[in-house]
Amino acid sequence: MPNTASAPLETPRLGEPYLLTPGPLTTAYEVKEAMLRDWGSWDADFRAMTAELRRELLDIAGDTAGDFDCVPMQGSGSFSVEAMLGSFVPKDGKVLVLSNGAYGKRIAQTLSYLGRDHVVIDKGDYMPPRGAEVAAALDADPDISHVVVVHCETSSGILNPLKEISETVYSRGRKLLVDSMSAFGAVPAGVNDFRYEAIVSSANKCIEGVPGFGFVIARKSELEAARGRSHSLSLDIHAQWDYMNKTGQWRFTPPTHVVAAFLEALRIHREEGGVAARGARYARNRDVMVAGMREAGFETLLADQWLSPIIVTFFSPAHPAFAFDRFYDLMKDKGFIIYPGKLTVVDSFRVGCIGRMDEHVMRRVVDAARSSLAEMGVDSAAPPAIALEERSRLAA
């Protein structure tokens, strides 16, 4: 791999552990510092901040034609996903959900709560949905109006083939809605990268802000069509959009400090070089960390072609002395908080590549993993045979 090493980023000034998770994540000190001031939610200064936030996100999305608008929504990313589904899928519509992990399942569960008719292509824990099977499902069921997919399924770390899926959806005259929670800002997801009607993400992912709101980037025609469609007062995207455009304000109490932090995060994102540079840093984080962990004996769930630059799933060692809870505590003691696995067939854990960290940090992560195994008395990180069998299924 090419050597693109740069000067190390500043370590967390408050001494907190690095969050090797797909959001919340480690943020720059300047982002934290931006939350020290209070803002009036109705004040002109804060309204200007909201307008700036919306403009900058549309710039990141590459909306040069003015066909889209950005609507921030209070709450976690799942709030914005539910708002998208409830606002853009007509009550008599039917959704094809492409599921290959926990967040695809959550979309299907949300649609059940909303009373929206839906069918699911369930690829299990980590197999990618492909264009041919999407085409077959759409051809078989003319009632399907929308397809919904997770861009980066962080339960496995897979980056789904969105361009292939989008081309299939629109070739069949259907509409695509995208949950790009953990990809937007670091993986190409602009309006010209692949076609969609709406895409959602949140403040505490690849833009490297803090939790508190999500945002929806949608075609203005879809926003207009969503009038009166939502099941929810607070999750009505059309109502939020219309009110913001008329008053510059959020309909309900906004997360003022989070917005201030996000604007600082956007500044850092822009100065780093935008989506391409942010994605390159994350990819370098992944490559350095994966190479080191493999050298230490760990095995990744996914082959290289499916590894996202967001988070990587590793099989847990088969060694009888290995226990994830103990491994987690030892890693935390060394300054790194990792993520438990979400696979159903075999035990696993995950290591995030996003946030305010670089390859220098990832080398320390590998060193910490090696020494933690040694402290546990684990002399081999090799996974059980069934784990490799699962991986061979994916490769096929």
pLDDT per position as a tens digit, 141-162: 999 999 999 999 998 899 999 9
**Domain 18-25+274-395 and domain 37-270 have a common topology:** no
Whether 1 shows a pLDDT value over 50: the answer reads no
pLDDT per position as a tens digit, 23-56: 899 999 999 999 999 999 999 999 999 999 999 9
How many whole angstroms separate alpha carbon 254 and alpha carbon 9?
Answer: 31
Query: Is the model more confident about 15 or about 110?
Result: 110
Q: How many CB atoms lie within 10 A of CB 380?
A: 12
DSSP 250: -
Question: 320 Cβ partners below 8 Å, 6+ apart?
Answer: none
**Interior CA angle at 192 toward 150 and 72, to 5°?**
60
How many whole angstroms separate alpha carbon 302 and alpha carbon 29?
Answer: 33
Is residue 364 a known part of a binding site? no
Question: Strand 213-219 to strand 152-153: parallel, antiparallel, or no bridges (unpaired)?
Answer: unpaired
State the pLDDT confidence band at 3, using cuts at 50, 70 and 90. very low
What crossing angle do the helices spanning 359-376 and 324-333 adopt, rounded to 10°? 130
Is 295 within 8 Å of 287 (Cβ atoms)? no
Question: 21 Cβ partners below 8 Å, 6+ apart?
Answer: 311, 337, 338, 339, 350, 352
How many whole angstroms separate alpha carbon 97 and alpha carbon 147?
Answer: 6
The alpha carbon torsion through 336, 342, 347, 348 (nearest 10 deg) reads: -40
Which of 71, 84, 87 is CA-nearest to residue 244?
Answer: 71
Specify the CATH class of 18-25+274-395 in words. alpha beta
Is 208 within 8 Å of 268 (Cβ atoms)? yes
Question: 306 Cβ partners below 8 Å, 6+ apart?
Answer: 126, 128, 158, 159, 394
Which residues sit opposite 153 in a β-bridge? 158
Q: What is the pLDDT averaged over residues 295-306?
A: 92
**Preceding omega of 24 cis (within 30 degrees of 0):** yes
Pull the structure tokens for residue 208: 């490297």
Question: 52 Cβ partners below 8 Å, 6+ apart?
Answer: 263
pLDDT per position as a tens digit, 74-97: 999 999 999 999 999 999 999 999
Specify the CATH class of 37-270 in words. alpha beta
Question: Strand 336-337 to strand 311-315: parallel, antiparallel, or no bridges (unpaired)?
Answer: unpaired
The H helix count followed by the E strand count for the chain is 13, 14
Domain ranges of the chain: 18-25+274-395, 37-270
Which of 89, 167, 155 is CA-nearest to residue 126?
Answer: 155
The pLDDT of residue 364: 98
How many whole angstroms separate alpha carbon 232 and alpha carbon 281?
Answer: 39
How many whole angstroms separate alpha carbon 325 and alpha carbon 212?
Answer: 29
How many whole angstroms separate alpha carbon 388 and alpha carbon 125?
Answer: 14
Question: 198 Cβ partners below 8 Å, 6+ apart?
Answer: 84, 88, 177, 178, 216, 217, 218, 219, 222
Q: Phi/psi of residue 122, each to 5°? A: -100, 110
**Interior CA angle at 210 toward 209 and 211, to 5°?**
130
Whether 60 shows a pLDDT value over 70: the answer reads yes
Backbone angle region of 128, left / alpha / beta, with phi > 0 → left and psi within -120 to 50 → alpha: beta
pLDDT per position as a tens digit, 158-173: 999 999 999 999 999 9
Q: What is the DSSP string of 18-30?
A: EE-SSSS----HH
pTM (2 decimals)? 0.95
pLDDT per position as a tens digit, 234-260: 999 999 999 999 999 999 999 999 999
pLDDT per position as a tens digit, 316-354: 999 999 999 999 999 999 999 999 988 777 899 999 999
Average pLDDT, the chain: 95
Q: How far lies 251's CA from each of 70, 258, 388, in Å? A: 15, 16, 51
Which of 314, 349, 385, 307 is CA-nearest to residue 1?
Answer: 307
